[in-house]
Structure 1
């Protein structure tokens, strides 16, 4: 194993407004290249998502969502949904067979499921979200969908910059969203997923897994740290854990394993975790948005040619130390939809057994494990 020659001890902050200025655009692209290749994480400041929408979500709706009566949360529990959408009670999602100390609601961008019998099971994975009653939290659905729409568009815009920083044509990554590279066709045809997460102050020094070490599966993740509480940590090249403290007005963006795979490891997926708030502190809130890709796509079917000077950046960086997180080895052989479905079944086996019993049995041949 080659020791890393380019490591990081902080996550870089990039100013998105530089993109709109011809005198600073190249500077942004260079900063993005460093973040993508050497870190795998970045803060994005001055982004295009309306700050008033963000404020309504963080200051008004998130606290009210988690304050709903427990019986109302349970009416939209995830077990109802073959799409793994809805409410998950505290410590009912698992990373590496250990409960994550958090409570959450899962949603997707609006999507109409068109599954037909005989199609692959992953076609059932995308579909409509479950919603709390409008009268209990008026305006939440509209505001949340507005937020999702704006983050979705930011994600599409960002793909062109990402391709550019790797020396590819600006539309090179659009094929993962639409086979004809028409990125606007992706809206309504790609179902991106998002969570609203609460990490209550229950952690101890001995048990503090808000979410265990992992990689994100897809392309890009746009994380809104929706409270001032710390907790997010990323693992650098030598294996040290680096704090990613909340910075108001920013997204934290990270590379998923699918994007790492298709760029031959140039774009670096970085292992990360959340440390649960300790007792006698306050709750941490966050909203991760996970950018998906076409379900039927096999990543090995698309090959990119990178310029020698771009490939050399990976060699200069060196190889990553053994990584603790959950991997997605199936990307080399299976359609993206299958990989996503396997990930959901492993995280929520109690939900999966109701909707995907055969796959659940394959993955857990001895029955649901005790930790589930």
Structure 2
């Protein structure tokens, strides 16, 4: 099954959306509430920020995990040996944000979080009774008043002539959280690994909204919703000289939320961050 492009305003949107998540770990929404103009403005403004030295004034806090992460300390995907070719900034409403960017990015954070609650409700309402019995509390409630939901602004710079030939923009990985909400990037490259072991391009026209399941939803659903492996490949041709901006919102429950018998949100997150080498 291919990743489905679902009309958010269609009557059967919840069913089609959840079916695609179940089969591929991904779904794409069109005609959704997130405005393209807002996304484009964020892409433009944060690209300019990444091009300045001001970013170094916001170097990440190892304990709080907010702020700027340089390419030198960027993530190494689980099982990978090379760091990803990227830099990024972690936005939390309680964290440090450049003053000139704060109002706009927090407006997006709020809008996307409201949509996220609706999408989690879709997931729960379209889970079988057997699967839903695994949820320790309503999925949408898990993220209400959470301080943990993370908005990451990613900048994948142009591919340098001396870049490690074995490194890519984002090596194959799975997300840690419940769901990830991702406006289509300004450049292609996102791929998902299907059940046959083939890499497929995720539909990425500007204005699309890409949603994928993460490890925490897989854990909470006892494996029913797969946390699917995905990656961002390097561009070719003239695109090697272009930056790529990406804006994933990682939906994280409150720290004390019990995902399963073996894990709370906090215990699961710490386990994965250690694997990634960022703590």
If the TM-score is normalised by the length of the shorter chain, which range does it land in? Answer: 0.7 to 0.9
TM-score, normalised via structure 1 length: 0.66
Offset of residue 148 of structure 1: 0.3
Tell me which residue corresponds to 1:270.
228
* Structure 1 counterpart of 2:125, from 150, 154, 164: 164
Tell me which residue corresponds to 2:268.
339
Count the aligned residue pairs.
270
Which of 266-275 and 145-154 deviates more?
Answer: 266-275
User: CA RMSD, aligned part only?
Assistant: 2.6
* Structure 1 counterpart of 2:209, from 251, 263, 274: 251
- Residue 99 of structure 1 aligns to a residue whose secondary structure is coil
Tell me which residue corresponds to 2:55.
73
Tell me which residue corresponds to 1:52.
37
Tell me which residue corresponds to 1:191.
148
Offset of residue 293 of structure 1: 0.9
Q: Deviations over 1:204-259 (max 9, x none)?
A: 793242111111111100012330x2111100001111111421211110011111
- Residue 131 of structure 1 aligns to a residue whose secondary structure is coil
- Residue 175 of structure 1 aligns to a residue whose secondary structure is coil
Offset of residue 41 of structure 1: 0.4
Q: Counterparts of 1:208-223 in structure 2 under 5 Å?
A: 208-223=167-182
TM-score, normalised via structure 2 length: 0.87
Query: In the alignment, is the contact (CA less than 8 A) between 1:84 and 1:106 conserved in 2?
Result: yes
Q: Counterparts of 1:105-124 in structure 2 under 5 Å?
A: 105-108=89-92, 110=93
- Residue 169 of structure 2 aligns to a residue whose secondary structure is strand
Q: Counterparts of 1:168-317 in structure 2 under 5 Å?
A: 175=137, 181=141, 186-187=144-145, 189-202=146-159, 206-227=165-186, 229-278=187-236, 280-281=238-239, 282-301=242-261
* Structure 2 counterpart of 1:149, from 102, 105, 110: 110
Give ranges in structure 1 of 5+ residues lacking alignment.
Answer: 1-7, 19-24, 111-127, 302-332, 353-372
Q: Verify: 1:13 aligned to 2:5, yes or no.
A: yes
Tell me which residue corresponds to 1:319.
none
Query: In the alignment, is the contact (CA less than 8 A) between 1:201 and 1:283 conserved in 2?
Result: yes
Tell me which residue corresponds to 1:84.
65
Which of 45-54 and 266-275 deviates more?
Answer: 45-54
Greater C-alpha radius of gyration: 1
List structure 1 segments (4+ residues) > 4 angstroms apart after TM superposition.
171-174
- Cα distance in 2 for residues equivalent to 1:152 and 1:146: 10
Offset of residue 278 of structure 1: 4.2
Query: In the alignment, is the contact (CA less than 8 A) between 2:7 and 2:31 conserved in 1?
Result: yes
* Structure 1 counterpart of 2:21, from 33, 36, 50: 36
Tell me which residue corresponds to 2:95.
129
Q: Cα distance 1:298–1:97, how it changes in 2: closer, same or farther (>3 A)?
A: farther
Q: Cα distance 1:194–1:161, how it changes in 2: closer, same or farther (>3 A)?
A: same
- Cα distance in 2 for residues equivalent to 1:86 and 1:276: 25
- Cα distance in 2 for residues equivalent to 1:247 and 1:129: 31
